[in-house]
Amino acid sequence: MKLTNKTVLITGASSGIGRACAEICAKEGARLILLARRRERLDELATELRKTYSSEIILATCDVRNYEQVENVVSALASEWAAIDVLINNAGLSRGLDKIQDGNIENWDEMIDTNVKGLLYVSRAVLPLMIRRNDGIVVNIASIAGREVYPSGNVYCASKFAARALSQSMQIDLNGTGVRVCNIDPGLVETEFSIVRFRGDAERAEKVYQGYTPLHSKDVAEAMMFCITRPKHVSIHDMLIMPTDQASTTIVNKKL
Ligand code: NDP
Ligand code: 8X3
């Protein structure tokens, strides 16, 4: 499948992996619907992509935790944009790194609402459009944390185990519709993820990526591109992409 004139909706496009997915899709000629809460980030990205690739882009300022907002974005799409070929469910976050007995309820709610309910809400709004056309690919960005728990990862890991379960559920429920579902589990990727997790503590966040070579957002975007450009009879169900220096959630070849 070529991406020229295909429509790709990316959630969490304002930063990190989502932004890299937007860049690579724009480069391949896709039309983009870019969704996130930080409008100024989306504006800046859209300006760059329009200038560099003459991309056609729609911006959606939207919180994936709010179904009404999600529904409004999708239902307001003009028919030529509603034919969404690829949905990249990427918006997500972690908050805190505390033992479960010390967990912060607001942090738990935010992770579950974003990583689980947000993925569900966007999928619920977009899937009927794909099913109607018997075509489309959903890419869920889950995580190695959805395959292995790590100390104090508890609720973040649980949310990613849930994302993985939802990818598998979609693969089963959508069988026969022509809609494909791809689950991508990255290991450590240097993005704003840890700054968000540690609520702006840049020093603590930087330490997560020191002493080894983490993945770059572009590495994940390239893996995503491979998945969405397979012929229509090929469905990549599951992909695990790790830094060479990372063997598991807890085993990282750090030279500090
Ligand atoms: P970033 O913090 O760089 O990007 C997260 C993106 O998600 C931002 O664009 C943010 O946009 C968006 N987002 C967060 N909450 C919401 C919301 N409620 N509504 C809409 N958009 C939202 O992190 P990453 O790029 O690393 O994270 C992307 C995905 O990859 C996440 O699902 C993460 O769990 C997953 N992942 C990350 C790994 C890593 O090591 N970095 C490894 C494995 C998976 P805004 O704030 O503008 O709304
Ligand atoms: C993000 C990777 O290991 O920090 O999903 O949880 S990790």
> What global pTM score does this model have?
0.98
Q: Pairing between strand 31-36 and 238-241?
A: unpaired
- Dump pLDDT digits (tens) for 138-164: 999 999 999 999 999 999 999 999 999
The overall average pLDDT reported for the chain is 98
Whether residue 53 lies in the annotated active site: no
Order of all β-strands in the sheet with 7-11: 57-61, 31-36, 7-11, 86-89, 136-141, 179-186, 238-241
Asked if the structure places residue 144 within a domain, the reply is: yes
Q: What is the pLDDT of residues 84-138, one digit of tens each?
A: 999 999 999 999 999 999 999 999 999 999 999 999 999 999 999 999 999 999 9
User: Given a cut of 90, is residue 204 above it in pLDDT?
Assistant: yes
At 6-65, the pLDDT tens digits run: 999 999 999 999 999 999 999 999 999 999 999 999 999 999 999 999 999 999 999 999
At residue 9, the 3 state secondary structure works out as strand
Domain contains 224: yes
Indicate whether 250 belongs to any domain: no
Q: How many domains does the chain have?
A: 1
Classify residue 68 by burial, with Cβ atoms within 10 Å: 0-12, 13-18, 19+: exposed
Q: Tell me, yes or no, whether 1 lies in a domain.
A: no
Task: Give a yes or no: residue 98 inside a domain.
Answer: yes
The pLDDT value recorded for residue 2 is 83
Degrees to nearest 5, angle at CA 8 with 4 and 10: 145
Q: Evaluate whether residue 255 is within a structural domain.
A: no
Q: Which domain holds residue 169?
A: 7-241
CA gap 174, 157 in Å, rounded: 25
Residue 252 lies in a domain: no
The residue from 6, 121, 160, 209 that is catalytic is: 160
User: Probe ligand 1: pick from 37, 161, 206, max atoms within 8 Å of CB?
Assistant: 37
Q: Of the residues 94, 140, 190, which should be mutated to test ligand 2's pocket, given the most ligand atoms within 8 Å of the CB?
A: 94
Long-range contacts of 161-165 (CB under 8 A, 24+ apart): 162/112, 162/115, 162/116, 163/89, 163/92, 163/115, 163/116, 163/119, 164/140
Is residue 180 included in any domain, yes or no? Answer: yes
CATH number of the domain within which 168 lies:
3.40.50.720
Residue 133 belongs to what H/E stretch? helix 119-133
